[in-house]
Homo-oligomer: A and B are copies of this chain.
Amino acid sequence: MSFDERKKSRVTLLDVARHANVSRATASLVLRKSPLVGSETRSRVEQAMRDLGYVYNIGAARLRVERSQIIGAIVPNLTNPFFAELLSGIEEVIGETGKVVILANSGDKVERQAMLLQRMREHGVDGVILCPAARTPPALAEEIADWGMPVVQVLRHISFDMDYVGADYAAGMHQAVDYLASLGHEKIAFAAHGPVQSAYQERVDGFRDAMLSKALDPGILIQFPTQLGEIAGATHLLFEQATRPTAVICFNHLVALGLSAGLHDCGLTIGRDLSLIGFDDVADEEAIRPKLTSVSTGPVTIGEMAARLLLERIANPDLPPRRVVNETALHIRQSCGRPA
């Protein structure tokens, strides 16, 4: 890169074209790997690009073409490793196609989510992967449809008219309950947490349903604090129920981590004094002792599937809405035993 060339704030396609003695149009064709240009011309232009240090300006291109190569991802909480894994899957698949992911954190706030969607619209994203904030009105789906913006819901859903990718929470609950029942447990609690949204509801309903199908009492449902740090301290809630549970199924990995710590603090041995089943099976759960028996929902996979679904939706907007539900798997480790 010579001195003069660096002075120019930006090397444009026109500069490249002039340097290679062709027109702007031809240079553009080379850029887009069109078979129309002759091979000698092509290499001359490519050399010119290298000589001048040309950088493609996607922004300029997208003014003409209807494609920004940007995908949005909105999650309710970034610090939760579960969502980090989800994002990782999304970024992986989107990145492979040469597109780019805009990341945003709704903090589970509906207004903030609306603002972020607006911002993404202004950036002309090709589509959005959205984990809807709790209490998102279903009308949002219609609004989004009006905008003509391709959106895939992940993990939570607010509408059946929009693509959705999630896990089979109900089946996961059945796996957990069936396993505990097979060990002889009858008093099984569900340790819930966080705001109510579709995934929450599905887990609770799945739990109820599974318990009833085993003719067990589905009524032990305990609400734990939202913050990880406070969950351990709230462990006593488990023992303040009308019937004291012999096993607990956790809403997610945060509850599992918290209770695992809290039970230890109470001097109880997990798996002997009380059985514990986690949900989501994030990497950390492998590192707790005793190792946590857990229902895995596969956040990375869900992220990948959501990304793929979105790409298909963008390519073909008239597809009917689809629902993809990832299978859950019960990973049996060491946190469950027979009831005392």
Interface residues, chain A, with chain B CB atoms under 8 Å away: 1, 6, 9, 55-60, 62-63, 66, 68-70, 73, 78-81, 83-85, 87-88, 91-92, 95, 98, 100-105, 116, 118-124, 146, 228-229, 232, 257-258, 260-261, 264-265, 283-284, 286-289, 291, 300
Contacts and interface: CB of A to CB of B under 8 A. Distances in A.
11 contacts: A56-B122, A58-B122, A59-B62, A59-B123, A70-B123, A84-B84, A87-B103, A102-B102, A228-B284, A258-B287, A264-B289
Contacts of A283: 79, 228-229
Contacts of A69: 123
A123 B95 contact: no
A265 B289 contact: yes
A102 B101 contact: yes
Q: Is the interface of A mostly helix, strand, loop or mixed?
A: helix
Nearest to A66: B9
Residue from the set A66, A78, A291 with the largest chain B CB neighbour count within 10 Å: A78
Contact of A261 (B57, B73, B79, B287): B287
A66 B60 CA distance: 12
A244 B101 CA distance: 48
Contact of A91 (B63, B81, B104): B104
Nearest to A6: B146
B300 A288 contact: no
A78 B84 contact: yes
A18 to B, nearest CB: 20
Given A59-B59, A63-B59, A264-B289, A100 B119 contact: yes
Contacts of A120: 100
Contacts of A1: 146
A70 B124 CA distance: 12
A257 B118 CA distance: 40
B88 A105 contact: yes
Nearest to A62: B59
A118 B98 CA distance: 11
A103 B104 CA distance: 10
A81 B86 CA distance: 12
A122 B62 CA distance: 12
A336 B84 CA distance: 31
Contacts of A80: 84
A156 to B, nearest CB: 19
